[in-house]
Amino acid sequence: MIYNRAMAYTSLYRRYRPDTFRDVIGQDHVVRTLVNQIKSGNIGHAYLFTGTRGTGKTSVAKIFSRAVNCLSPEDGSPCGKCEVCRALAEPSNFDILEIDAASNNSVDQIRELTDKINFPPTTGRFKVYIVDEVHMLSKSAHNALLKTLEEPPEHAIFILATTEVHAIPATILSRCMRFDFRLVPLKKIEERLRFIFDDNGVKCTDQALRMIASAGQGSVRDALSVADMCVSYCMGDITYEGVLEVLGTSDPVRLTALADDILAGNVDGALTKIAEMSDLGKSMSVLAGDLASLFRNALYVKNCGNAAELLALPAELFAALKEIAGRYDTRRLLAALRKMTETEGEFRYSTQHRILLEAAVIAAATEPRAAETGGAGIKELEQRVAALAKRVGALPKQGFEPAPAKKDAGQVWRRVASELTRMGRRMLGIALAECRAEEKEENFTVRVFSESAMQMLGEPGARAAVEEALKASGCTKPLVIEEERKLDEKDVVPFLTDLFGKSLDIK
């Protein structure tokens, strides 16, 4: 149990990078074509891999670049045993070059690379260049790359990978064989997670597993990051409640009850539930997002025959949605969804998140009645809202008040996490939620102790996003990120002996 906790510090998605095509899940269409090329020896000079992050682009590029060189590929995959495979497994080899265009995007760096391309490979048949995030190259760097793509030497293969295919110039697109990586189906992610958990002796209930898999939203890497956080959070066996807490997702039972109140026009009940959730420390902007996705999902259930498949939700959540979808009509659900998404946008300009959410909920709960009763009804409605607002002591009489002067750093940080979610960086928000924050005189310091969080922060644009989120959360001090000492597998024994003394017997 304790051993698992320490293990979690080496991120799962790095330990479980597939080494062969057999281990790649959910990309059968890509794998089949590449394997056939290896088998027939009919290999191209330029490939473009596109698709959402964490769906296997880099992994497949690495496998392919070893497979084209392997002396005796096994079913199209690198054997891992021959001298070439062994040489190419060394990160210092000269034949497989990985370039991250996000950090090496200048024309000089591309020139340097393309200058060297004329030298033949040192170990295998091919020199393979993997250019990750190729859309980040500057215009002149693109042109330099294009020149090489036009007339590559026989021994060169380019694999370009990108999440933003629309940002790739047509001149480059037209020279590449293109492979679109798909979102990985929930079932496949579940199977992979189960395999990885079993491999590590981690127990996890089916319900919890499903929740982790669906949090990845089709990205294996994101699902594995969530799994990582759950392993360290739960310190052993992973429970459904633990996963919900890691994800910061609202308890589905409460959330469904709240949605039901809103749709039924029960303002009183809805405000009481919001108050309870607020007292529990629930972020109001996250709650607004959760409500919006619930209404959206209910609309799917109501209007799409294959909603179960599309939404890929745990069974009991789906059943609750079905009930809601059955009780209310599409117009009603749509109105509630509109109100919530509208409000989500406003969170960035306000620090009074609870008030904002309450106002939106009241509006959503009473909307159709206002429309039905016309002008006179609105007056009555306003009075009702004012009376209610007074009772919960929340709504100020006029407009929104400025931010309260004193906030504790934890609160600010939680807001940063939900702000990141709002900015479309949900994984980053989740990963950073468990960091420790401290507001100092001269800066806002955040201590990060998970490797996956640190890794995510290192991604292009991540730090800038956190800085923006911090500003939006009302803190103007500069952001300082400190990394806590990582615990590696080799550190586990000293860590445990530290904790329990030398007598401890670890297998």
| Interacting residue ranges for Mg ion, rule: CB under 5 A | 57-58
Residue 342, strand partner residues: none
Q: Can you read off the two tokens belonging to residue 19?
A: 């080494």
Told to check if 85 binds Zn ion by CB under 5 A, we report: yes
> Can you tell me the distance from the alpha carbon of 106 to that of 240, in angstroms, rounded to the nearest whole number?
47
| Spatial strand order in the sheet of 177-180 | 96-100, 127-132, 156-162, 46-50, 177-180
Interacting residues with ligand ADP (CB under 6 A): 13-14, 16-18, 24-27, 53-59, 161, 184, 192, 220-221, 224
End-to-end Cα separation, the chain, in angstroms:
13
Q: Is the CB of 123 or the CB of 283 nearer to Zn ion?
A: 123
Q: Can you read off the two tokens belonging to residue 294?
A: 């619930």
Number of H helices, E strands in the chain: 24, 8
Q: Is the CB of 180 or the CB of 241 nearer to Mg ion?
A: 180
Q: Which does 420 bind (CB under 5 to 8 A by kind): ligand ADP, Mg ion, Zn ion, none?
A: none
Min CB(192)–ligand ADP separation in Å: 6
Min CB(57)–Mg ion separation in Å: 5
Cα angle for residues 360, 365, 368 (degrees, 5° grid): 110
Q: Which amino acid is at 45?
A: H
**Which of 79, 97, 378, 388 is in the footprint of Zn ion by CB under 5 A?**
79
Q: Is the CB of 24 or the CB of 189 nearer to Zn ion?
A: 24
> Can you tell me the distance from the alpha carbon of 329 to that of 299, in angstroms, rounded to the nearest whole number?
9
> Can you tell me the distance from the alpha carbon of 114 to that of 148, in angstroms, rounded to the nearest whole number?
7
Told to check if 87 binds Zn ion by CB under 5 A, we report: no
Q: Is the CB of 4 or the CB of 77 nearer to Zn ion?
A: 77
> Helix, strand or coil for residue 262?
helix
Told to check if 70 binds Zn ion by CB under 5 A, we report: yes
Among all residues, whose Cβ is closest to ligand ADP? 56
Question: How many Cα atoms are found within 13 Å in the side-chain-facing hemisphere of 296?
Answer: 12
Return the range that interacts with Zn ion (CB under 5 A); candidates 64-72, 286-294, 336-344, 386-394: 64-72
Q: Which does 85 bind (CB under 5 to 8 A by kind): ligand ADP, Zn ion, Mg ion, none?
A: Zn ion
Min CB(299)–Mg ion separation in Å: 33
Q: Which does 18 bind (CB under 5 to 8 A by kind): ligand ADP, Mg ion, Zn ion, none?
A: ligand ADP
Question: CA nearest 211: which of 293, 318, 296?
Answer: 318
Q: Is the CB of 57 or the CB of 127 nearer to Mg ion?
A: 57
Chain centroid to CA 449: how far? 18
Residues within the interface to Zn ion (CB under 5 A): 70, 78-79, 82, 85
